[in-house]
């Protein structure tokens, strides 16, 4: 509401309303939640310190917003010499906090209050700031936010960035260890070109979502995902494979990570890039997948076998190349060995999830297929889906557990992954 002084006010009137100006919508609202709702309703304070990687903070703040977060930036003086505060204002839609004032901004956002922020993310974190945080020194806005957060129990994430020589300094490594002992999660840097570079945006966003997720039954548990497709050789050049993209495997790995699991992916041929923060063990054909499966640890809580594994393979692949120009070529195929029973024997107590892909079936028919798969007694849960109905935006499926009725799901892969892990958690009791 704006008021102005009237030139000729009636007796007794000093002010009158002129016009109501709606609060300007900042351009950050155009992108908020456009990638996912993972950080929806969450407020993240982004503490920017004086590493050259501060130049990436515009991108980082926008990625956090794209995943739904409200971002408030606070910057050290050294950071403002690398990145202008206006850039962070633009990126977040809020003026960055450059010094603490009588408004006690550190208490406002990190104190014992209901409306405080949900997370402090220090990214990039210099060796200097890490050292101060580890020793409860707070002489910059970022370190004062950190000291307050560690005192009140606001989750703190630190993403270091520095030259490799500093990262190898025993004192810096001791400070990192000290931070971990204080309950700080470290987003490990990428060690490249003699530098400890700031982790990529995707990894930092995933760590934020993991830090903010409620504690659930998969927290700290081992989850193995088998994704992608097998490649069975025909000769030295050609192979038999399938259209599995690895897209659902990726969504499952992301979801398990956010739920706090210790995730490993056994990964065949795939088109969709997999999360950089998940360990991937490659396989090519069924034999190599079997060899990898034999290392699945006994204490694995859940195995999700979403890979498209060959049912048939060439009996004897040619050593050289089958020559072209033949009038007719017949390939002799044999059934490939089954992988699921091997996975079951490696981790007998794991919740084993199988996937069945069909083409052109109704929901009832899919449920029937899933039910008969469960009947074999190897899997605890089966997800049946119909390729004809899968689109980039929508991945309908039927989820059925050993005990229970089939559930029909419709929605994006990320939501299907969440529904599958809800079913896994329910099956584990
Ligand atoms: C261009 C430039 C780049 C820098 N990059 C880094 C860096 O990546 N990591 C780091 O630990 N220090 C880096 N420094 C040194 C820090 O800015 C310096 O230690 C400063 O005192 C950190 O203050 P702060 O932790 O309060 O932000 C850099 C300095 C300059 C001038």
What number does the ligand 1 atom closest to the CA of 49 have?
A: 27
What number does the ligand 1 atom closest to the CA of 79 have?
A: 27
> What single DSSP character describes residue 30?
G
Please state, in angstroms and rounded to a whole number, the distance separating the CA atoms of residues 365 and 190.
48
What number does the ligand 1 atom closest to the CA of 195 have?
A: 8
In 187-301, DSSP assigns E strands to 190-192, 195-197, 222-227, 232-233, 239-240, 262-267, 279-282
How would residue 5 be classed by pLDDT, with cut points 50, 70 and 90?
Answer: very low
The pair of structure tokens assigned to 110 is: 């990190």
Mean pLDDT of 58-62: 98
Question: Could you tell me if the CB of 140 is within 6 A of ligand 1?
Answer: yes
b/e per residue 170-209 (b: at least 16 CB within 10 A): eebeebbeebeeeebbbbebeeeeebbbbbbbebbbbbbb
The pair of structure tokens assigned to 14 is: 């000093």
- Provide the CATH topology of domain 27-212: Rossmann fold (3.40.50)
Please state, in angstroms and rounded to a whole number, the distance separating the CA atoms of residues 145 and 141.
6
318, 331 contact by CB (below 8 A) = no
Residue 377: the pLDDT is: 87
Q: Which of 77, 75, 95 is nearest to 86 (CA)?
A: 95
110, 117 contact by CB (below 8 A) = yes
CA of 81 to the centre of ligand 1 (A): 10
* For ligand 1, atom 26: residue with the closest CA: 76
306, 246 contact by CB (below 8 A) = no
The pair of structure tokens assigned to 62 is: 């926008």
CATH architecture of 222-312+333-428: 3-Layer(aba) Sandwich (3.40)
Cα 284 to the chain's mean position, in Å? 25
Q: What is the pLDDT of residues 224-234, one digit of tens each?
A: 999 999 999 99
Q: Which residues pair with 352 in a beta bridge?
A: 303
H helical segments located in 168-229? 170-181, 201-212
Question: Could you tell me if the CB of 230 is within 6 A of ligand 1?
Answer: no
Residue 4: the pLDDT is: 39
Mean pLDDT of 312-326: 91
CA dihedral sign, ordered 53, 58, 61, 62: negative
Q: What is the pLDDT of residues 292-301, one digit of tens each?
A: 999 999 999 9
Q: Which of 349, 398, 397, 402 is nearest to 375 (CA)?
A: 402
How would residue 6 be classed by pLDDT, with cut points 50, 70 and 90?
Answer: very low
How would residue 20 be classed by pLDDT, with cut points 50, 70 and 90?
Answer: low
Q: What is the pLDDT of residues 196-208, one digit of tens each?
A: 999 999 999 999 9
Residue intervals in the chain for CATH 3.40.50.10300: 222-312+333-428
* For ligand 1, atom 18: residue with the closest CA: 50
Mean pLDDT of 315-321: 90
* For ligand 1, atom 6: residue with the closest CA: 51
Residue intervals in the chain for CATH 3.40.50.1950: 27-212
């Amino acid at each position: 509401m704006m008021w102005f002084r009237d030139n000729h006010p009636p007796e007794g009137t000093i002010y009158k309303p002129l016009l109501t100006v709606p609060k300007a919508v900042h351009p950050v609202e155009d992108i908020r939640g456009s990638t996912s709702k993972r950080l929806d309703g969450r407020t993240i304070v982004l503490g920017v310190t004086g590493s050259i990687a501060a130049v990436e903070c515009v991108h980082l703040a926008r990625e956090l917003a794209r995943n739904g977060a409200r971002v408030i930036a606070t910057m050290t003086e050294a950071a403002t010499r690398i990145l202008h505060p206006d850039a962070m204002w633009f990126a977040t839609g809020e003026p960055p906090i450059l010094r603490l004032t009588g408004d006690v901004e550190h208490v406002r956002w990190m104190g014992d209050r209901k409306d405080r922020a949900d997370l402090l993310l220090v990214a990039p974190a210099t060796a200097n700031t890490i050292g101060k945080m580890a020793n409860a020194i707070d002489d910059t806005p970022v370190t004062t936010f950190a000291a307050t957060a560690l005192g009140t129990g606001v989750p703190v994430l630190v993403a270091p960035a520095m030259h490799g020589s500093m990262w190898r300094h025993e004192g810096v490594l001791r400070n990192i260890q000290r931070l971990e002992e204080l309950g700080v999660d470290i987003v490990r840097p990428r060690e490249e070109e003699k530098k400890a570079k700031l982790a990529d945006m995707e990894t930092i966003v995933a760590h934020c979502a993991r830090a903010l997720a409620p504690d659930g039954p998969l927290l700290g548990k081992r989850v193995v995902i088998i994704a992608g497709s097998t490649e069975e050789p025909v000769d030295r050049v050609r192979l038999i494979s399938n259209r599995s993209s690895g897209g659902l495997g990726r969504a499952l790995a992301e979801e398990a990570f956010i739920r706090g699991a210790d995730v490993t992916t056994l990964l065949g041929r795939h088109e969709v890039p997999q999360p950089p923060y998940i360990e991937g063990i490659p396989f090519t054909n069924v034999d190599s997948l079997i060899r990898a499966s034999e290392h699945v640890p006994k204490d694995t809580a859940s195995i999700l076998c979403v890979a498209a594994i060959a049912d048939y393979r060439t009996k004897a692949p040619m050593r050289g190349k089958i020559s072209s120009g033949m009038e007719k070529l017949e390939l002799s195929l044999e059934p490939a060995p089954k992988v699921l029973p091997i996975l079951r024997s490696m981790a007998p107590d794991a919740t084993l999830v199988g996937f069945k892909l069909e083409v052109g079936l109704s929901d009832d028919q899919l449920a029937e297929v899933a039910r008969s798969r469960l009947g074999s007694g190897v899997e605890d849960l089966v997800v049946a889906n119909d390729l004809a109905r899968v689109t980039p935006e929508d991945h309908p499926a039927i989820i059925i557990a050993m005990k229970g009725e089939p559930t029909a799901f419709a929605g994006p892969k990320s939501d299907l992954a969440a529904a599958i892990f809800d079913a896994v958690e329910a099956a584990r009791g």
